[in-house]
């Protein structure tokens, strides 16, 4: 059989001149129209093909990985730099003995979501409802929160310090504040000096041991620096410049009123390490 041109086989979408309607061409199809000599060679080629090893067909399953341990992480973190002052619009028990507080604000509503953490006078609270038209949001307070903080003293119209939880792009302007109030202190003295304001706060000895001169402390959610500690009076004081006074609620309070306090967490970690015998274990090793 004479061929005017060499045959072309179809791979992919190329057409086979011997089988115009076929999409693929096998060796048996081609050999059927060729000479016996070529046909036998094709058969020999087909029978000489070896089956590939199974190892080259099946992909080996990856080695099992040890599961990573689950660690508890801090859900929210603040800086103590107050973003705005909000106004209490409503507070009290609404249903099922649930204490709810509704706060009017502007900055907080810019990117708010249900479940967000917002620091209200230094207390980390969860957004349960919000209205961007009325520019207000609601948070729920547990009985322990009311007992541990000064939020129970708020009234309709009271101003509160507000700060959203940190995001990866937030500048760290203050110090690490968790929004976990350690207790309250009582303002015992407020005295101006120039355009600054001295404030002295009386606190329990259980918290005073964590307060050091020139150390950080969060007061109503505001990151401030301790000036002096008075052990005999069980007090400490701090000073606020004019700009801070205009943007936080502390100057609006009077002598005798309470403020929320959160001490620097580093002091607690040090105390924990010392009480656990960590230092002794290092000395003995």
Reply yes or no on whether 31 is catalytic: no
Tell me the pLDDT tens digit for each residue of 42-71: 455 444 445 444 444 334 444 444 444 433
In 3D space, the residue among 147, 187, 155 whose CA is nearest the CA of residue 91 turns out to be: 155
Reply yes or no on whether 78 is catalytic: yes
What pLDDT is recorded for position 229? 97
Beta bridge partners of 118: 125, 164
What pLDDT is recorded for position 22? 46
CA-based torsion, 134, 165, 126, 244: positive or negative: negative
Task: Kindly name the residue from 117, 119, 123, 150 that is annotated as catalytic.
Answer: 117
What pLDDT is recorded for position 277? 77
Cα atoms in the 13 Å half-sphere on the side-chain side of 48: 6
Q: How far apart are CA 187 and CA 128, in angstroms?
A: 32
Beta bridge partners of 255: none
pTM of the prediction? 0.69
Tell me the pLDDT tens digit for each residue of 113-158: 999 999 999 999 999 999 999 999 999 999 899 999 999 999 999 9
β-pairing verdict for 196-202 and 183-193: antiparallel
What pLDDT is recorded for position 38? 53
Q: How far is CA 37 from CA 7, 18, 42, 44, 265, in A?
A: 17, 19, 9, 11, 91
Output the DSSP codes for 69-138: PP----S--B-S---EEEEEEEEEE-STT-EEEEEE-SGGGSS--TT-EEEETTEEEEEEEEETTTTEEE
Q: What is the largest CA-CA distance in the chain?
A: 118
Output the DSSP codes for 32-77: TTS-HHHHHHHHHHHHTPPPPPGGGTSPPPPPPPPPPPP----S--
Residue 232 exposed, middle or buried by CB count within 10 Å (0-12, 13-18, 19+): exposed
Task: Kindly name the residue from 99, 100, 165, 180 that is annotated as catalytic.
Answer: 180
What is the chain's pLDDT, residue by residue, as a tens digit (285 residues)? Answer: 444 444 444 444 444 444 444 444 454 554 455 555 555 554 554 444 454 444 443 344 444 444 444 334 445 789 889 999 999 999 988 766 788 999 999 999 999 999 999 999 999 999 999 999 999 999 999 989 999 999 999 999 999 999 999 876 667 666 778 889 999 999 999 999 999 999 999 999 999 999 999 999 999 999 999 999 999 999 999 999 999 999 999 999 999 999 999 998 888 888 888 888 776 777 777
Contacts of 191 by beta carbon, 8 Å cutoff, 6+ apart? 197, 198
Q: How far apart are CA 121 and CA 179, in angstroms?
A: 9
Task: Kindly name the residue from 126, 128, 158, 244 that is annotated as catalytic.
Answer: 126
Task: Kindly name the residue from 25, 31, 78, 222 that is annotated as catalytic.
Answer: 78
Task: Kindly name the residue from 191, 225, 230, 278 that is annotated as catalytic.
Answer: 225
Q: How far is CA 82 from CA 52, 86, 98, 139, 140, in A?
A: 70, 11, 27, 18, 21
Task: Kindly name the residue from 22, 28, 35, 142 that is annotated as catalytic.
Answer: 142
Reply yes or no on whether 235 is catalytic: no
Reply yes or no on whether 124 is catalytic: yes
Reply yes or no on whether 117 is catalytic: yes
């Amino acid at each position: 059989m004479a061929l005017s041109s060499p045959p072309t086989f179809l791979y992919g979408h190329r057409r086979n001149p011997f089988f115009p309607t076929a999409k693929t061409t096998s060796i048996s199809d081609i050999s059927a129209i060729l000479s016996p000599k070529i046909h036998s060679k094709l058969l020999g080629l087909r029978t000489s093909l070896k089956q590939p090893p199974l190892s080259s067909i099946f992909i080996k399953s990856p080695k099992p990985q040890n599961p990573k341990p689950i660690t508890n992480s801090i859900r929210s973190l603040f800086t103590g730099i107050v973003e705005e002052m909000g106004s209490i619009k409503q507070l009290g028990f609404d249903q099922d003995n649930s204490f709810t507080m509704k706060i009017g604000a502007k900055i907080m509503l810019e990117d708010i979501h249900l479940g967000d953490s917002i620091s209200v006078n230094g207390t980390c609270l969860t957004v349960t409802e919000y209205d961007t038209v009325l520019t207000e949001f609601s948070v729920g307070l547990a009985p322990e929160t009311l007992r541990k903080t000064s939020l129970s003293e708020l009234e309709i119209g009271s101003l509160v310090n507000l700060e959203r939880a940190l995001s990866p792009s937030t500048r760290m302007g203050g110090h690490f504040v968790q929004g976990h109030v350690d207790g309250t202190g009582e303002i015992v003295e407020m005295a101006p000096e120039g355009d600054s304001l001295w404030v002295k706060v009386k606190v329990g000895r259980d918290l005073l041991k964590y307060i050091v001169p020139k150390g950080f402390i969060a007061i109503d959610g505001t990151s401030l620096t301790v000036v002096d500690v008075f052990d005999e009076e069980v007090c400490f004081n701090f000073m606020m410049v004019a700009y801070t006074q205009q943007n936080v609620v502390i100057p609006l309070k009077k002598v005798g009123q309470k403020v929320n306090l959160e001490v620097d967490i580093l002091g607690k970690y040090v105390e924990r390490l010392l009480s656990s015998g960590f230092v002794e274990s290092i000395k003995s090793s």
